[in-house]
Amino acid sequence: MLKKFWKPRLGWTKELIINRLSFGLFLLIFSLVIGQVGYTLIENYSMVDAFYMTVITLSTVGFTEVQELSNAGRIFTSFYIIINLGIFAYAIGTITSYFVEGEFAELYKRYTIGRKVDKLQNHIIVCGMGRNGSRTCEELQKSQRSYVVVELKPDSIEQYALAHDLQYIIGDATADEVLLSAGIKRAEALITTLPRDADNVFITLTARELNPQVKIIARASEETAAKKLYRAGADQVVMPDAIGGIHMARLITQPSVIEFLNILSGTGTNSLKLEDIMYDELQEPYRDKTLRELNIRQRTGATVIGFRHQTERFTFNPPGDLKFEMGDTMIIVGAEQNIQAFRDYYT
């Protein structure tokens, strides 16, 4: 549990850091055993005397010998001191740097984040903290959705995490154990935004195998990669470059449409907000009612612009006699205060 949230420092991997600590402790213990055995066999010391001589020699404090050493004992002690100068310096230096350079603080921080991630349910996993990943996190934060980020490079996430109190895991999202530590089996959705299509395909395959019910949104650069992502199990594939090109072209051919879409997406001035409302979210008195009976616009100022009846396709500008039933979803639009008024009144 502690190791999987370790954060590498100064270019070290977590395995190297753990190995350095383990190796330093091993050398200390091994040196103690050699001294204990050496003084017992060469000088016929008791266990206590041999341990005392080993400790004062290993630590180079220079206390008085238990008894005068024989020539063999002096030769053993001389070589023992020379060898232990390096062993003691390496072990103490490694352990000291672990605390002084902040490794212990980082380990505790990773452990704390790990405890929080372990408690998440129906959260969203975002793989990659590049341009697309950071914008994804901003939108999730605006919607107050719980999420955790998986990022391989610490430098890509530190500044953002500090500013947004981000829950994140440093690791390779293509590895099973990393996705498991991010709670893939309890997650509602996974969004993979890595720049390499092959990585996104691999993450999609892994996530689908670990949690067949999770919703997967994947980024793709090429159309061929998009097809592979769908075959790998992605529910939706987004091609940012293609979307950006279409958007720029329509700024010329359909500027008013783009301005309206910007308002709906929250990027324009006087922005509106789109919200999807599921049947189960409504209070009992408002279920199985027609849109006319719900009277949403007059009560809240929000407008129903779309309606999906169970698994069928969307109906845009739905008629007033359309009934909101089990499995249905409605799309409403309005200013922030209108959406909040809807939720206060109906949910």
What residue numbers bound the domain in which 309 lies?
Answer: 272-346
Handedness of CA 151, 155, 160, 163 (dihedral sign): positive
> Using an 8 Å Cβ cutoff, are 116 and 6 in contact?
no
DSSP characters over 167-225: -EEES-TTSHHHHHHTTTTT-SEEEE--S-HHHHHHHHHHHHHH-TT-EEEEE-SSHHH
Which run of H or of E encompasses 259? helix 255-265
User: What local confidence, expressed as pLDDT, does residue 116 receive?
Assistant: 73
Residue 169: count other Cβ atoms within 10 Å of its Cβ: 23
Residue 336 has pLDDT above 50, yes or no: yes
> Using an 8 Å Cβ cutoff, are 152 and 173 in contact?
yes
- What confidence tens digit (pLDDT) does each residue in 52-102 have? 888 888 776 767 777 778 888 888 888 888 888 777 777 777 777 666 655
Residue 296 has pLDDT above 60, yes or no: yes
Where among 188, 215, 238 does a domain terminate?
Answer: 238
Query: Domain with 7 in it: what CATH number?
Result: 1.10.287.70
Residue recorded with tokens 């769908």: 230
Alpha carbons 331 and 303: distance in angstroms, whole number = 8
User: What local confidence, expressed as pLDDT, does residue 306 receive?
Assistant: 82
Residue 12 has pLDDT above 70, yes or no: no
Q: Is residue 278 part of a domain?
A: yes
- What confidence tens digit (pLDDT) does each residue in 302-333 have? 888 888 877 667 788 888 888 888 888 888 88
User: What local confidence, expressed as pLDDT, does residue 204 receive?
Assistant: 93
Label the pairing between strands 289-290 and 323-324: antiparallel
**SS3 state of residue 100:** helix
Q: Is residue 252 part of a domain?
A: no
Least confident span in 52-66, 104-118, 159-173: 104-118
Residues 6+ apart with CB under 8 A from 43: 50, 53, 67, 69, 70, 73
* 97 plus 142 within the same structural domain: no
Alpha carbons 324 and 289: distance in angstroms, whole number = 6
Tokens of 306: 């779309």
Query: Domain with 278 in it: what CATH number?
Result: 3.30.70.1450
Read off φ and ψ for residue 265, nearest 5 degrees.
-85, -5
> Using an 8 Å Cβ cutoff, are 57 and 34 in contact?
no
Handedness of CA 185, 186, 191, 192 (dihedral sign): negative
User: What local confidence, expressed as pLDDT, does residue 73 receive?
Assistant: 82
- What confidence tens digit (pLDDT) does each residue in 258-294 have? 777 776 666 655 667 778 888 888 888 888 888 888 8
User: What local confidence, expressed as pLDDT, does residue 8 receive?
Assistant: 40
Does pTM surpass 0.75? no
104 falls in which pLDDT band (50, 70, 90)?
Answer: low
Q: Where are the beta strands (DSSP E) in the chain?
A: 124-127, 147-151, 168-170, 189-192, 215-219, 236-238, 273-278, 289-290, 303-308, 314-316, 323-324, 329-334
Q: Is residue 127 part of a domain?
A: yes
* 169 plus 202 within the same structural domain: yes
Return mean pLDDT, the chain: 79
202 falls in which pLDDT band (50, 70, 90)?
Answer: very high
Q: Is residue 230 part of a domain?
A: yes
**Count of the separate structural domains present in the chain:** 3
Least confident span in 20-29, 83-92, 203-212, 262-271: 262-271
- What confidence tens digit (pLDDT) does each residue in 119-164 have? 778 899 999 888 888 888 888 887 788 888 888 887 777 666 655 6
Q: What percent of the chain has pLDDT over 70?
A: 82
